[in-house]
Amino acid sequence: MHEIVVTPPWRDLRKLTPLVLKRIDRAILALKDPYVGDVKHLKDHQLADWRIRVGDYRILFDIDDARKVVVILRVGHRKDIYC
């Protein structure tokens, strides 16, 4: 199991509906085991190495296996997240 560390992407979440926030919260908690689910390794992305898909939203994160830590870097709509 990995520990989950959330950097300040919470400003990205202010405009989301409660239903979407609940789904994102569940997806973040599921990242305690970061290699299960709809997790994809990103190639040539400057901000993060991994992403998980939650409907039309994406959670970008990095994994530090040596320290057993998942760092959440950004949360947002798929049309905006990769910019």
Chain segment 25-82, per-residue pLDDT in tens: 999 999 999 998 889 999 988 889 999 999 999 999 999 999 999 999 999 889 988 7
Kindly tell me if the per-residue pLDDT of 14 is higher than 90.
no
- pTM metric for this prediction: 0.88
Domains and CATH numbers, the chain: 3-81 (3.30.2310.20)
Kindly tell me if the per-residue pLDDT of 9 is higher than 70.
no
Residue 6: per-residue pLDDT: 84
Residues 31 and 61 sit within 8 Å (Cβ to Cβ):
yes
Name the more confident of 15 and 68. Answer: 68
Six token digits for residue 74: 């950004």
**β-strands 69-77, 3-6: how paired?**
parallel
